[in-house]
Amino acid sequence: MIMNDKDYSDRRRILTNGFLPISKEDLEERGIEQLDFVYVIGDAYVDHPSFGHAIIGRILEANGYRVGIISQPDWKDEKSISILGKPRLAFLISAGNMDSMVNHYFVSRKRRPNDAYSPGGEPCRRPDHATVVYGNLIRRTYKDIPIIIGGIEASLRRMAHYDYWSDSFKRSILLDSQADLISYGMGEHSIIEIADALNSGIDVKDITFIPGTVYKTKDISGIYDEIRLPSYEAMKRNKIKYAESFALQYENTDPFTGKYLIEEYPNGVYVVQNPPAKPLTVEEMDYVYDLPYQRTYHPSYEAKGGVPAIAEIKFSLISNRGCFGGCNFCALTFHQGRTMQVRSHESIIKEAYRITNEKDFKGYIHDVGGPTANFRHPSCEKQLTHGVCKNKQCLFPGPCKNLTVDHSDYLELLRSLRKIPGVKKVFIRSGIRFDYLMADNDDSFFTEMVEHHVSGQLKVAPEHVSDAVLTKMGKPENAVYERFIDKYERINKKLGKKQFLVPYLMSSHPGSTLKEAVELAEYLRDLGYMPEQVQDFYPTPSTVSTVMYYTGIDPRNGKSTYVCRNPHEKAMQRALIQYRNPKNYELVCEALIAAGREDLIGYDKKCLIKPRKMAQEKERANTKNDNTKKTNIQKIKKRKTIRNIHKKK
């Protein structure tokens, strides 16, 4: 359990009112001479359970520790890290709710113009590779203080990894940040165990025994039942070794079956990953979400208009964590895991009542879900005792025969939320796994979802239509999506509703050539739909797809995979999805010619684009101009020749 042995009511009495301290004035006001932990974060301070720093801060506080927040310090000024003084036990670091590089850059590596996690949406308020920069800043200022890093950036870079933005193979972030420990995954269990160990006087270098942590050492003699991964140097020399290493890591992400993983570095240094922490029980999930969050951003940001990210989550409810969907381009397996963790109905309904009392609540609960909204229980009965399967997926290539398909609990929750006074509508926006929905023989949830929980448009993620690409994505074959569309339309018609599907599509994923990109364009043509947004594949750390992108190998089977790395080809694949956009004409035309599909350039209804008359006229004009130039040149040469003859005479 997260909670320690103190009486719950005693523990509640020590909780401070309002936000966690962020200044010396806050400390003086509360009579705090020294904090136990100073938490350095790359986001603005938002005290809401959708933000990892809020959960970790409140969990520590609830267990009797004093925690202060330094949000977005000036990494160019060493004094910025000491505004709350030296903590008694340790510094904590999180780059924020997103990897700092994803937060800063589009897949094109161009800077994003704003940052939803910063005051007023201002960009560039945190450094690139924020965890590393903050860690080194602290280490320069406080030489011997323990440093514990966490959050998604540290979690997904805990072992050697490919970094897309520098196009390089990097060491474990533990080494580059000069930290002592990584608390990977969601962190509630491990952070309390770390805090209690430090508080009992154990040196941070001796904290090597906590699940859900990564540490560095020169002595691995006491480790048993371990797996030795290829060394960093071997992986740096040979990409195949990295693919092999990742496959081993992927097989050991389950808390019930995961082994100790050891990665060797030069000079006798080892990075050791302990098995993952156990998933939270329903009672623990309820406890975490019942802590006294202020549910908004710190008031010091009011002058800048607040923090934009709050708008998406202020009136939303988190009902679950984890995902057994296993999409290859998603990092959830490495961060939250494949084991579902859920809150009780009572906990969620209690929070919903709290939301309805907000002064700006308009009657709409924007979302009830998590990574995948319609997962509310383990994928099968044996998962909580034997763990998830190492070499099998629950839904890919098709639903496992042991898969438990049941929407009744989620449906009951939604019905209860709809009955709350003041609630007009309860929407589902965090994503529905449509193949799981199609595997359910009971249409009750599907029908009520369409009737009550769609805001005119339902967002789904087929990602592609080519089965060759879908296989590389770990997604179901396109025929499943086709059946889902048919059923969605039938139910809408039966209910007298006119609601639409908004499919998320991805270009340039490993396995996608121009041939498959054209196939997707033809599908959209037949559908009569052009998406407004297209996601070009983004190689983020610790996903199967990123390993394919870097190595050209599918780590699951060692087979070669086509990878689109050329920026111009990526632009062509992306343009094909939005072939109707006039701005994309030249790219689409070039792509069709390169793919040998000139048959799609013409006036037939099956064609994607028409021959451009202006282009033909321009070509004729250019030819005419060229001929005129040639004629003029010839005339000039002829005149010069005549002059020369006259001069000689």
Q: What is the pTM of this model?
A: 0.90
DSSP 622-649: HHHHHHHHHHHHHHHHHHHHHHHHHHH-
pLDDT exceeds cutoff 50 at 445: yes
Work out whether strand 320-321 and strand 226-228 pair parallel, antiparallel, or are unpaired. Answer: unpaired
Q: Write the pLDDT tens digit of every residue in 373-410.
A: 999 999 998 887 888 888 889 999 999 999 999 999 99
The CA distance from 645 to 649, in Å, is 6
Type of residue at 45:
Y
DSSP 228-268: EPPPHHHHHH-HHHHHHHHHHHHTT--TTTPPEEEEEEGGG
The CA distance from 428 to 446, in Å, is 12
Q: In terms of C-beta density within 10 A (0-12 exposed, 13-18 middle, 19 or more buried), how is residue 17 classed?
A: exposed
Mean pLDDT of 73-98: 97
Instruction: Output the pLDDT for position 642.
Output: 53
Q: What is the C-alpha R_g of the chain?
A: 29
Provide the 8-state DSSP code for 39. E
Q: Write the pLDDT tens digit of every residue in 180-225.
A: 999 999 999 999 999 999 999 999 999 999 999 999 999 999 998 9
With bands split at pLDDT 50, 70 and 90, how would you rate the model's confidence at 7?
very low
What's phi and psi for 213, nearest 5 deg? -130, 160
Taking Cα atoms as reference points, which of 377, 383, 314, 374 lies closest to residue 344? 377
For domain 304-346+353-404+418-600, the question of CATH label 3.90.950.10 is answered with no
Whether the Cβ atoms of residue 271 and residue 159 lie closer than 8 Å to each other: yes
Instruction: Output the pLDDT for position 446.
Output: 98
The CA distance from 212 to 182, in Å, is 8
Task: Determine which helix (DSSP H) or strand (DSSP E) holds 386, and give its type and residue range.
Answer: helix 383-386
Helix, strand or coil for residue 425? strand
With bands split at pLDDT 50, 70 and 90, how would you rate the model's confidence at 507?
very high
pLDDT exceeds cutoff 90 at 17: no
Supply the CATH classification number for the domain 8-215: 3.40.50.280
Whether the Cβ atoms of residue 72 and residue 41 lie closer than 8 Å to each other: yes
Whether the Cβ atoms of residue 149 and residue 183 lie closer than 8 Å to each other: yes
Q: Write the pLDDT tens digit of every residue in 248-271.
A: 999 999 999 999 999 999 999 999
Percent of the chain at pLDDT exceeding 70:
92
**Per DSSP, what are the bridge partners of residue 296?**
47
With bands split at pLDDT 50, 70 and 90, how would you rate the model's confidence at 5?
very low
Q: Write the pLDDT tens digit of every residue in 271-300.
A: 999 999 999 999 999 999 999 999 999 999
Rounded mean pLDDT of the chain?
92
Q: Write the pLDDT tens digit of every residue in 290-328.
A: 999 999 999 999 999 999 999 989 999 999 999 999 899
Q: Write the pLDDT tens digit of every residue in 607-645.
A: 999 998 644 544 454 555 556 555 655 655 555 555 555
Instruction: Output the pLDDT for position 616.
Output: 53
Taking Cα atoms as reference points, which of 37, 12, 64 lies closest to residue 291? 12
Q: Write the pLDDT tens digit of every residue in 138-179.
A: 999 999 999 999 999 999 999 999 999 999 999 999 999 999
What are the domain boundaries of the chain? 8-215, 304-346+353-404+418-600
Residues whose CB falls within 8 Å of the CB of residue 596, separated by 6 or more in sequence, listed in order: none
First to last CA, the chain: 111
Q: What is the dihedral of CA 353, 356, 322, 208, to 10 degrees?
A: -70
